[in-house]
Each structure stands twice: as C-alpha cells, then as structure tokens.
Amino acid sequence: MVRGLYTAASGALVAQSQADVIANNLANVNTSGFKRTLLQVQSAPEIGLYRHQMDASGNGRGVVSSAFVGALGMGAQVMDTPAVFEQGTLAQTGNPLDLAIQGNAFFAIQTPQGVRYTRDGQFSEDPTGRLVTMDGSPVLGTNGPVQLQQGAGAIQIDQNGQITQGGRLIDSIALVQFGNLTQVRPEGDNRFIASNAALPARAAAGSSSIHQGFLEKSNANVVRSMVDLITAQRWFEANQKVIQTQDDANGWAIENVAKSQH
C-alpha cells in the first residue's frame, strides 16, 4: 500500500510541473519571440518483484532460491522540458530597429556568460551607437557587435540582414541556424543556449529572412494553454484522491491488524 502512495505522489508532482510549464507559457503570450515549452513525461524506473524461498532446515542459510514474479511500476517522472520552435506570427510596429525572423534562424547576442541566441528582435541603440537588446546585450553582426553610425541617416536593414545608413553598408546581422534544435535550450530572459552538439552555423542565404519594422509574436496559444492547465489540474486532483484513498486504507489496515492481535 505504501508503494501506491509513492506512485500517486509521483503523478501529482508531474501534474504540478505541467501546471508550472503552462503557467510560464501563459505569462509570456505577449513576449516577442517567445517559444513555448512542453513537458515530456516518462515512466519512473521499475523494480523487480521476486518470490523467495526460505531455508526451513534451521541451519541459518536464509534465502535458498528466488523466482522472478514481475515488474512493479513506480509512477511517472519528468523527462524533459524542450522548447517548441514553431514560427510565431509577425506584427508590424513601424520601428526601424524592430526586427523579426521568418524561418528557423536566431539572432546572436553577446552576454557576460558568452554568446546566446534569441528570437526577440526588439532592439534599440545604446548611447555608444551599439545595437542592443532590451536588457542591453549587444547584437552580433559579421564584424562583432553591430555598431551603428550616429547621425549618419536612416537605418535600412534588408531581408538578408545587411545594414545600410546613408546608402553605405556598415554591417550585417549575424543570423545563426542549428543542425540539431533539440540541443538548443531555454536559459531564461527569452534567451537560448546551445551545446556543442547543436552545431551552430551562419544561416544559409534565403533559408531565413529578416523583416524590418516587425516583431515576431509569442507562439504560446492562450486557448490551448488554458485547456492544458485544466487537464493538469484534474490530473493533480485525481492523484490527490488516490493518495487519500491509500492513506485511508493504510489507516484501516493498521487499526484492524492491531485489533486482531488481541
């Protein structure tokens, strides 16, 4: 019976993790370039059940033989929480420093922790003329951090990421693609970190395009998230009822076994 408590508790913990993931998606429905995450669940490791034959001769040998009866499941556990890199819709803003990517590439940005990647193209110009993210991280171009020419005229960025001011090419946005998106992980602050297995490379010409004056909207869906949240809540409540039933059964057994001994 105690095993049943642990199994139901593991299901309740997974349901709670599911609710946390969905709540985070809902909290970011208005975050530019946000990619929703999923909760992947797997069975917890099973344990083997054996029937033991004890030595009845009294010579203290203990177990003399064992026969495998079967496997006992131990409930569920969280396997992974990957991001879903579906394309978000593009919304026009008219701001020349707002950039949206159509395709599966990423902007590369420089952070104190190293190069990170984002789909959030809500950029601005800092006091030194650098193109930066909302938190001040420099956006990387082909020559390092993109340096705009202050007072040099209107900024034009074409679909290939080439930046011109006053008719003069000054840099090009470094769009990065990955050979293995499963190795690209959310890090927080709407950024992604890539392992070496992700094989980052400069995006091939035409594979992804930049749209100036647009932002990519979050790909989190409010209606679907609310339905999933209700499902997670019911899942949690079902496991909660199982825990209560198991606890009642344990209490009944303890009480009646104690009575039978008198």
First-to-last CA distance in the chain? 24
pLDDT digits (tens, 9 = 90+) for 101-153: 999 999 999 999 999 999 999 999 999 999 999 999 999 998 899 999 887 78
Coil vs helix vs strand at 241: helix
Of 52, 133, 144, nearest to 98 (Cα)?
133
- Give the model's pLDDT for residue 156: 95
Contacts of 27 by beta carbon, 8 Å cutoff, 6+ apart: none
- Hey, what are 222's tokens? 């409010």
Whole-prediction pTM value? 0.79
Q: Would you place residue 63 in the very low, low, confident or very high pLDDT band (cuts 50, 70, 90)?
A: low
State how far Cα 15 lies from the chain centre. Answer: 16
Q: Are 218 and 119 contacting, i.e. CB atoms less than 8 angstroms apart?
A: no
CA 48, distance to chain mean position in Å, is: 33
pLDDT of res. 150: 80
- Identify the pLDDT of residue 98: 97
List, for residues 146-173, the tens digit of each pLDDT value.
Answer: 999 887 789 999 999 999 998 899 999 9
DSSP secondary-structure letter at 89? P
β-bridge partners, 92: 214
Residue 196: CB atoms within 10 A of its CB come to: 7
Given a cut of 70, whether residue 62 has pLDDT beyond it is no
Q: Work out the angle at residue 163's Cα, subtended by the Cα atoms of residues 159 and 168, and round it to the nearest 5 degrees.
A: 130
Contact 12, 59 (CB under 8 A): no
